[in-house]
Each structure stands twice: as C-alpha cells, then as structure tokens.
Chain A
Amino acid sequence: MHELSVCQALLAQVTEIATDRGACTVAQIIVEVGPLSGVEPALLASAFEIVRAGSCAANATLLIETMAVTVSCLSCGAESQTRPNRLLCAACGGYRTRVVAGDELRLRRVELRVPEPRPASTA
C-alpha cells in the first residue's frame, strides 16, 4: 500500500540530515510506528529494503519501535493501555478518552558514519 511512499519520505528526511552533516553513509535509523498510525511495521521494513538501494542509507539498519496504544481518560484521569479498536478507559470503562501513545509515525534517531580522515602525506 503506501508504506513505500512513507519509506520514500523517510529516506528524504534521512538524506537531508546526512547531507547537512557531511556524512557519507547512514548506519542506523530508528522510527516509531504506533498501531494507530495506519502503517504496518513489517511492510515498512520490506519497503525500506527496496527504497534504500543506492542511497546514503543503502547499508543502514532500520529499527522500528512499536508502542502500545495508551489512552488518557477525560472522565477519571486514568491512563491505560488498550487495543486499537477498543479505546475505552480500563479504570472506569468510559469512552471519552484521548490517545496519548500509539498513533506515532515518527523518525526518532539517525546514526551517521563520516568519512575516515585521510592519512597525512609522507612525500
């Protein structure tokens, strides 16, 4: 589906960061993908294998961090972990809740590799 275009957007952001710092390659990328983000982590990982070819991230590891869906209850104030299609407060059963975690689709961290310094000339 659109995991491929999400990966292209990811690569564009990573490339910009690497270029800004004069890095030649990206070692590792960490993204956060929540169950309510609309993106499937396994498909994102597969799409990344395709999209990274020939780029500065061609040899980068992609780590995908997933987090549980967590809601904050607007009635009783409790925070509870829950399922994507059952966003009710675990404490009071109320449905007036706000999602505080689980809908992320974020680039969290980029680890770069910079060129080895050239050895001094011995001439």
Chain B
Amino acid sequence: MCQTCGCTITPGNAHLTLDQHGRAGPVIEVLQDLLAANDRVALHNREHFNEHGVLAINLMSSPGAGKTALLEATIVALGDRYRIAVIEGDLETDNDAARIRAHGVPALQITTGTACHLDAHLVHRALHDLPLAGLDLLFIENVGNLVCPASFDLGQHRNVVLLCVTEGDDKPAKYPVMFRAADLIVLSKADLLEVLDDFDPARAAAAVRALGRDTPMIRTAARRAPALGPWLDWLEHELTGRRAAAQTLLPQSVATVAA
C-alpha cells in the first residue's frame, strides 16, 4: 500500500486523515430541510399575498417557451377586469419588464446576475417596491430554466409550467422535478402543431401521468391569432376560488410536503 500519494485514502477512512481538534462531542439528530430558510421567507411572502387577497402565480419554463408573450396576451385579454402586476426574473436585462410595462401594467425586474432561479429572498425584496394593495393577480415569471426553479418555493399559490410544442413531448420524463411541481401545464405556441410532425400532446400527457400526476394540460397560442380560452378559464376559476378559499391555497409542490 502506498504511503505517499494518498491512494490508500478511501471515503471510508478519509476522516481519519483530517486534523480533528478536541474530543468527541454531542451527536445531534436534526432532520431539518436544507431549504428551511428559503421556506420561511416563502411562507412570509405567501402570508403577505393572502393579506391582500392577491393570487400569486409562478410561471416556469425553458428559455423561449413564450412566458412573457403569454403574459402580454393575458394582460390584453383580462387587464380591464383584473388588476395585474408582474415580477420578472432574468439573469440580465430588463427587456421583459419593459414589455409588460408597455401594456400599462406594473412590472418589476429582478436581475439575478448568475443565479439560475428566483428564490423567496429575491421575491421578498422585490415586494418592497411593488405595492400589492388593490391587486388581484401577481405573475412571477421565473428565470427560463427547467431544472432549478422547481426546487424553490417563492410563496406563490400556483405553479404553471409552459411546455412549448417545439420542445419535444418527452420533456416531462426528462425533467420530472419540474413537471411534478406543476399545478397546470400549458402547451404554448400550439398554433405551430399544424406544421410540426414530432409533437404528440397525448405522449406528453402520458409522460406526465408517469410522474404520478393528473395535472391538467391546456393549449395556448399567444401571437397572431391568440387562442387563450382554456388558459383564461383556468385563471378566472383560480381567481374566484381564491376569494372563496381565502387563506388555504397552496401549490401542490408545497401542499404534498405539508400534508
């Protein structure tokens, strides 16, 4: 056995080579979630939304799936009946917040620099500059990323995940954590289905069921000839339900943990 290059050190005995001062002390059983600090702030955010009767929706997808375009079309369709605000998350630029503000809706941009997801702390800070009084609906457009955003509770009531029809109908199988977290899956740019021959909505739905989920899946087209019926129906249903249910709405990514 080699005494010089360290090849005898294995994961099992590595700790014996470390410089350990002092004597053995207490062993503490903890069982605390590593994201507990984020979850505490998320709870605070959710209470803040509840106090003001605001429905908060976390919008997630890969980059370019059409989140901002869907929000723009939604504002055009619902903006005269519901008071809407948007928190935008991107690594750089405030392009998306500018697009929303052009529709006369308050929008606050969080630029994360290098962080690939929004977290509850970032949203909490943004809320200092975004009065909730009088709002009905707050959209939080997360950083375009099908991996990390799914793990971070922001305090929202519902998670909406966009799956663009140009992306491939096996995405739910490839990104199980994200698609399991969805309360609604939106097949975006659905007007392109007539020119695509490799996206089968039924296969996407089967992939979602294989995640042990019955998540509703609807289609939207936000540009040219907007087709938003099922999306607007879902939003209005959630807004009405919010007022009826008051303090009890949770996204299923949080509800299943709390249960």
The chain A residues found within 8 Å of chain B, CB to CB, are 1-2, 5-6, 9-10, 12-13, 17, 21, 23-25, 27-28, 31, 36-39, 59-61, 71, 84-88, 95-99, 105-116
Name which residue of chain A comes closest to B24, CB basis: A113
A108 to B34, CA, bound (A): 10
Query: Which B residues are CB-close (under 8 A) to A9?
Result: 34-38
A31 to B20, CA, bound (A): 20
Contact B148 A59 (CB under 8 A): no
Contact A59 B20 (CB under 8 A): yes
A86 to B212, CA, bound (A): 8
Contact B116 A96 (CB under 8 A): no
Per DSSP, chain B at the interface is: mixed
Contact B35 A105 (CB under 8 A): yes
Contact A1 B116 (CB under 8 A): yes
Query: Which A residues are CB-close (under 8 A) to B2?
Result: none
Total A-B residue contacts, Cβ distance less than 8 Å? 139
In order of increasing CB-CB distance, the 3 nearest A-B pairs are: A87-B212, A114-B25, A38-B151
Partner of B210, one of A6, A13, A85: A85
Mark interface residues in B141-162 (1 if CB within 8 Å of A CB, else 0).
Answer: 0000001101100000000000
> Smallest Cβ distance from A75 to chain B, in angstroms?
11
CB within 8 Å for A114 and B176 given contacts A95-B214, A106-B34: no
Contact B34 A105 (CB under 8 A): yes
The A-contacting residues of B in range 16-32, CB under 8 angstroms, are: 18-32
Name which residue of chain A comes closest to B29, CB basis: A109
Contact A96 B25 (CB under 8 A): no
